[in-house]
Structure 1
Amino acid sequence: MPETALSPVAEGTSPATTVEDLARDLGVRKVTVLTEEILRDGSGALATSVTRAAAAAIVRNPWAGSAVSTDLAPETERLAPVLAKILTDRLTEALGGAGEIEAFGKSAVVGLKGEVEHAAALIHTPFFGNLVREFLEGTSILSFSDDRAEPGTTIAVPMWHKEAASTRSHYQTLTLSLSDAPHPNEIVVVAAASTGSRPHPRIGDRTTDRPVTAEILEGIL
């Protein structure tokens, strides 16, 4: 996976001038991008592919070791919008622009000196979610996962359609693992996107489902 290390600012230098500078100043250590192409078997209309990508930022946890009564809002408002911008920039670059993206999702994993609520603070507020939707031209809420774990954990990022969350064809999951993150005092924040559905979706949708209730179990159980 391509990685971009964000070097420290030298003492006495000018304030941040780009979003990457600002991210570095706010404690982002590295940004990693995973891109994969799923080839579909078949010929003709089936001989197509879907590209999926996940952009992950490894950031210092500003609340590590703090009391559970700590107000998370001030740091969330400072950090989450910057993470939304740098991660969606990477996704649109990897996938050919927001117009090519059909599905999206998000995830956060906090290191062992933090709380799951610290991870949640960076992805479950409008300061992250609203901006990801705007930058990726979506309208759906983002599917998500969050966790607390050691470095090297597998991070599963669920995705669904960016404009129609109940469209089953676009339910999919992208997994990644970072060997050196999250450190105990870090949080990994991930945004993921896909240019299409799962290969060969054919389980129907709410518009094609027949009514199903517990009555279908009669005669079976």
Structure 2
Amino acid sequence: MQERIKDRPDDSIGLRKLVLYRDVVLTEAGEAPAQPARRASVAAVIRNPWVGVGPSADLSEQQGQVAPVLAKLLTERLIGALGGVDEIESFGKAAIVGTAGEIEHAGALIHTPYFGNLVREFLQGESIICFADTRAEAGETLIVPLWHKTHAATRSHYQTISARVSDAPRADEIVVIAAASTGPRPHPRIGDRMTDPVVSTETLEVVPS
């Protein structure tokens, strides 16, 4: 009973459920990577506070009320799922709006300082957080992009994780997602922006047409 109460952080945001997904890649191409790749996503299914208000409505009041609660709720569970904030190296965010809402409602929650700045702070990052958002019916899979939380140009950490809630979002709901990884893709070896040669149409002898 105590655990159930603990998992209800704030009824005011209309939280219906939380979904945690975690995976660990132990081998790739028949070999173990230098370090096991652990990834996780946490999705919060909440009621859409803006359903039916019209495209000229001011969204700012609910942003300040709902988004900070989601940022804390999701990052706490990511940190717990991946073994601590110091273990997390890359992050991403996403939202799926139900069919009765606007795509702008996704942005209102994840593309503002009330969410993005706090997720970055809680996960001890510095990079802009890469993202995905869409409007869809329940059960839609969304591919959430990730990159390094302090060095966004680190190509080894460009990766994705699939997020899906089988019964959400309902038409009047929003699914808000935070995702993270403890390391790079298995066996990264495609170079890095800091060490790549200069490549342009002038430096190449042949440019495919």
Same fold flag (TM > 0.5): yes
Q: Distance in 2 between matches of 1:21 and 1:204?
A: 43
Aligned to 1:92: 79
Q: Distance in 2 between matches of 1:217 and 1:130?
A: 45
Q: Distance in 2 between matches of 1:218 and 1:51?
A: 40
Q: Distance in 1 between matches of 2:12 and 2:208?
A: 62
- When the two structures are superposed, what TM-score results if normalisation uses the length of structure 2? 0.92
Q: Distance in 1 between matches of 2:69 and 2:205?
A: 50
8 Å CA contact 2:9–2:73 kept in 1: the answer is: no
Q: Distance in 2 between matches of 1:114 and 1:219?
A: 45
Deviations 1:160-193 (A, max 9, x none): 0000011000000000221100000000000000
The one of 31, 49, 52 aligned to 1:42? 31
- CA drift of 1:116 comes to 0.6
Report the secondary structure of 1:86's partner residue: helix
8 Å CA contact 2:201–2:207 kept in 1: the answer is: no
Report the secondary structure of 2:51's partner residue: coil
Report the secondary structure of 2:53's partner residue: coil
Q: Distance in 1 between matches of 2:163 and 2:111?
A: 20
The one of 4, 8, 30 aligned to 1:20? 8
Aligned to 1:131: 118
The residue correspondences of 1:57-136 to structure 2 (distance < 5 A) are 57-136=44-123
Q: Distance in 2 between matches of 1:161 and 1:49?
A: 16
Deviations 1:81-101 (A, max 9, x none): 000000001101100110000
8 Å CA contact 1:103–1:160 kept in 2: the answer is: yes
Aligned to 1:168: 155
Q: Distance in 1 between matches of 2:207 and 2:16?
A: 59
Q: Distance in 1 between matches of 2:145 and 2:99?
A: 23
- CA drift of 1:153 comes to 0.4
Deviations 1:87-136 (A, max 9, x none): 00110110011000000000001000001100111000000011101111
Report the secondary structure of 1:74's partner residue: helix
Q: Distance in 2 between matches of 1:112 and 1:50?
A: 35
Equivalences, count: 203
Deviations 1:134-166 (A, max 9, x none): 111111110100100000101111000000011
- When the two structures are superposed, what TM-score results if normalisation uses the length of structure 1? 0.87
Q: Distance in 1 between matches of 2:51 and 2:189?
A: 45
The one of 196, 200, 203 aligned to 2:187? 200
Q: Over aligned residues, Cα RMSD in angstroms?
A: 1.7
Instruction: Structure 2: state its 5+ residue gaps.
Output: none
Aligned to 1:210: 197
Q: Distance in 2 between matches of 1:64 and 1:148?
A: 13
Q: What code does the residue aligned with 1:42 have?
A: E
Greater RCO between the two (CA within 8 Å, min separation 6)?
Answer: 2
